[in-house]
Structure 1
């Protein structure tokens, strides 16, 4: 919905400094919040932005592909703001990436917010502005949403749920079951940055080197990958549980083994140092801008070159290969194999 200058002048102004229970009552306070904060920011979306649903033209979608991809996710990250991103950009990019690694072109997002009574309005404005910027960067539209308010203590400041709709490209069907022995495994850059960033921000460690989250949209990088290799075996963004967890999921689904080469794993020195200090493993730390790609061996060099031409893939590497068996292993610098099992617990909760 595009708002004219005259209509914009009539938008209500928020006089409250914090969220109150009245903002979730369905009455005038709620309408003022929606109009002044969400409608004014999410303008330029669909004509039905003020209805209870988004109405999407099917012709526009079917012109791009033959199937729909649909996903949903919730975001409860603590703290709300961290170096390299915030809960708003995380919600948009996380949902965009879940669609992209399926081979879909992300198009539309929903946004539902659970607000705690007492949340500063300025904080909410900052989060909404971040979501708008992230959506523009990813080339998607936020087309419908919902707002709920819970009493003080009923939540932790702000939770966001997003759902996303994308269009599946014809002839592109990446899935873990397609992985075969001999395939190459690639990643688009240093791992563990997001998990390390949240840990530092939460515990307020004093470090000489500041670590930043890798929060970013990956749909442009996926475009480069599938253009270079439509027969890509599998793709997945390595979020909670990190790279090792994704590879275990791949191995289980395809009934194969995967061997990584330790010397080929990209890890920033600051992240490596933090992990050594705290006894953590970067292979299990969360990422929010990294994807794992598995391709046929004869396509590895082509895909790697295509990834390295994209800003989100400049530091891409081949990090291992698929082998017979059903275990994920890391070939260490000593020439021995270290088994990479699934995590039993959670190294760091509420990282997304």
Structure 2
């Protein structure tokens, strides 16, 4: 067990500097962060930029295959990627609870540095606050990110039309079930781990090669695939038909869902994407996705239609159709 975080670590004085110098800066150091000014100064490419922010409050902070730091970096990188952007720079804000073990902080920061390296981004500015014991659950993280959108890339719901295919880049529910199992002390198979991953290394080349054929990309995090599809059907005013038999769910995850009454279509994922693509490019895009570690299970799960605008229908294994709506009550709370 390491040193515990104290309120004085957040007062802006000597202890705050020691916290930064001992646990954070050794992992995040780069030329843009090094001046330790009130913000980072950097040169951006001319043209369109994407900017996003998100906060992470998952409990527990550690779960099979990852931790809150992995979520923070991957989540922001993926949000930029879903805009068609090439992620470049992140900020990182920590809110730490008095009494937090410094080993926990260092483990989280180490993971964040590793994920930033994999994603090819730099953490260039940030902030740390320490609050009274009980005010937060150990550690909360906010990350913001910027990236540039290459020329010719146009991603948005307004580009989704009828007669497009819907591609899902992999299996559903891994992250939510992994977090749930740890939270409630369930003994789950070792195969169930978070799918959390930075997706820019897989999707940026797809956009570079097939940009005009990709109308929209979304990552089905909170609310799951069903909620995302319903949002898009409403925004684009198209109908969406999904084939239940085509939706990939790992066997062990499906078994847990069956026992506990969870629907994988509404479970959160942190390393998957939904793509709306022109039909003539579907097979080539799938082939490209299959070449990447995070896209080996990519599959076409449905298509858009001119009829039934604003509705999502699931063709069941029995041959019927079930309408999918947005998530109502949480199945598994606080998954990111």
TM-score, normalization by structure 2: 0.97
CA pair 337-33 structure 1, distance change in 2 beyond 3 A: same
- The corresponding residue for 1:38 is 24
Superposition pairs for residues 242-261 of structure 1, below 5 Å?
A: 242-261=224-243
Task: Find the aligned partners of 1:38 and 1:52 in 2 and give their Cα distance.
Answer: 16
Aligned length: 333
2:9 pairs with 1:23: yes
What pairs with 1:205-220 in structure 2 (closer than 5 Å)?
A: 205-220=186-201
User: Runs of 4 or more off by more than 4 Å in structure 1?
Assistant: none
CA separation in 1, counterparts of 2:125 and 2:189? 43
Matched residues in 2 for 1:351 and 1:180: separation?
32
2:2·2:103 contact (CA, 8 Å) conserved in 1?
Answer: no
In 1, Cα distance between the equivalents of 2:205 and 2:2?
Answer: 46
1:265 to 2:247 alignment: yes
Superposed, which structure 2 residues align to 1:119-268 within 5 Å? 119-231=100-212, 232-268=214-250
1:339 paired with 2:323, answer yes
| CA offsets 1:290-329 (integer angstroms, 9 cap, x no match) | 0000001111111111111111111100000001222111
- CA offsets 1:222-265 (integer angstroms, 9 cap, x no match): 12321231111100111001111110111011011111111111
Residue aligning to 2:311: 327
- Mapped to 2, the partners of 1:285 and 1:176 lie a distance apart of 22
Q: What 5-or-longer segments of structure 2 have no aligned partner?
A: none
Q: Deviations over 1:138-178 (max 9, x none)?
A: 00000000000100011110000000000011111111121
What SS does the corresponding residue of 1:181 show, helix, strand or coil?
coil
Q: Aligned equivalents of 1:140 and 1:39: distance in 2?
A: 16
Q: 2:61 maps to which residue?
A: 80
Whole-angstrom distance in 2 between the partners of 1:88 and 1:246: 24
Distance across 1 between alignment mates of 2:4 and 2:138: 11
For 1:338 and 1:235, how far apart are their aligned partners in 2? 24
1:48 shift after superposition: 4.7
Unmatched 5+ stretches in structure 1: 1-14
- Is the Cα–Cα contact under 8 Å of residues 211 and 270 in structure 1 kept in the other structure? yes
Match of 2:257 among 253, 260, 275: 275
- Confirm or deny that 1:318 pairs with 2:304: no
CA contact (8 A) 2:57 2:141 kept: yes
| Residue 41 (structure 2) pairs with residue 55 (structure 1) | yes
2:74 to 93, 116, 135: 93
> For 2:285, which of 303, 310, 328 is the aligned residue?
303
Query: 2:243 & 2:57 partners in 1: Cα distance?
Result: 34
CA contact (8 A) 2:88 2:146 kept: yes
Structure 1 residue 107: Cα displacement: 0.1
TM-score, normalisation: structure 1: 0.92
Partner of 2:37, secondary structure, is coil
Name whichever of 317-326 and 118-127 sits farther off.
317-326
- The aligned counterpart of 1:10 is none
| Conservation of the 8 A alpha-carbon contact between 2:33 and 2:124 | no
SS in 1 for 2:313: strand
